[in-house]
Homo-oligomer: A and B are copies of this chain.
Amino acid sequence: MEGLAKIEDLGKPRVVIVGGGFGGLELAKALRHAPVQVVLIDKQNYHTFQPLLYQVATAGLEVDAVVSPFRKILDEQENLFFRLAEVQRIDAERQVVETSIGLVRYDYLVLATGATTNYFGDAEMERNAIAMKSVMDAIELRNTVLSNFEKALQLGDEVQLNSLLDFVIVGGGPTGVEIAGALSELRKHIFPKDYRELDFRQMDIHLIQSGDLLLKGMSAEASRKSLEYLERFGVQVHLNKRVKSYDGYTVTLNTGETLVTRTLIWAAGVAGAPVDGLPPECLRKGGRYAVDEFNRVKGHPHIFAIGDIAAMESTEYPEGHPMLAQPAMQQGRLLAHNLERLLAGQAPQPFRYDDKGSLATIGRNHAVADIKLLGKDLKTQGFLAWIIWMFVHLMSLISFRNRLFVFLNWTWSYFTFDKGRRYIIGPTREPVPVEATTEKAIV
């Protein structure tokens, strides 16, 4: 679509931000008092708090708790204009981005498009697996788990039944570990009550990790303990194994082993989600833009990239920073500062990542934490780590309202052992057709 999108021109330098994830949103907010016009473009009208998506997927939280509409977050920011649109191409020559609502002119362009699920080119896997990157992914997983059990009630054949009751999670990073843990909690506290007619000793949860460690980026203690907790909760952890193929029914591992499941959750990799239009030499491995220490895309002084989509190569991080919320937010904040400096004719300041540590929860009372506290490294696992995990996540939520409601939800679930969002609304992954075992005669 040619033609200019209808956005008032404030007569100030215009900063166009593509993507309202952790990095883009932080940047937009930090530009609040800057002498610029900010145009934030996203294909959704809400910010997603991805670290808690797995709780939506496992019926612990409602969608509401993990999304915040951009217009609500930013409605008092007068220099900001939000547009719901898809960005199709960057035209660096003309300084415009081509979008689904027309051309948008920029003085400075910031790419904050984040990451997308990486199937490493396996189209069959992409078709059959469920990912865990978006709200729709989370809803789909929740609906699919619940539908599986409803269908399982009609099955007599043992193998067919197991294919519906068993789950295979690929990827031993935080998402994989957290989903495996949450499913094991549902198996223990919820499903046997909901589905008295099914025998949940038949429900297997497999977690497959290509390397020999879970939570690879974390400390050795965290890796070891997360494995111990998962095994205690009855999750079957397969280390040093890879999935070779999955046809929607049979999972084949590189060892020749096979598992049967209708639900494979793919948490094994993400890749940058670059936009068309910049020359290929701007891109690094994994679809990330090569940026300098000011987050400038190499060769394009007016184009920046922050967060997952940016690979700022340094001696400490030769392949760029980890694809997490913290680097994205810190880059967003610094870039706001640097844009103000640039406009004032001052030199920008280089980015230094302040790694505050990592956390992952395995289940009720069980988490692992590697954090910095008062300048010291603290490595802890178990109940204290779980309390820290909850506190950090609550404090990171966007609004006070979300914090309050998530806190109340968690408190409620903790004392009642309940996870109440067990309804099937919206998309469900239809499995490869199952032949229901029905008896011939009417008894």
Contact = CB atoms under 8 A, between A and B. Distances in A.
Contacts of A46: 423-425
Contact of A103 (B4, B425, B442): B442
Range of interface residues on A (Cβ < 8 Å): 35 or more
A429 interface: no
B67 A425 contact: yes
Interface in A1-15: 1-6, 8-9
Contacts of A401: 412, 418, 420
A60 B158 CA distance: 46
Interface stretch (A231-239, A283-291, A431-439): A431-439
A438 B71 contact: no
Interface in A41-66: 44-46, 62-64
Contacts of A81: 197
Given A6-B154, A84-B150, A401-B420, A94 B442 contact: yes
A102 B78 CA distance: 60
Given A3-B439, A45-B422, 12 more contacts: A2-B438, A6-B156, A45-B150, A45-B424, A46-B425, A67-B423, A68-B423, A72-B194, A72-B420, A75-B193, A78-B196, A101-B436
Interface of A: 1-6, 8-9, 44-46, 62-64, 67-69, 71-72, 75-76, 78, 81, 83-84, 94, 96, 101-103, 105, 135-136, 139, 146-147, 150, 153-156, 193-197, 399, 401, 404-405, 408, 412, 418, 420-426, 436-443
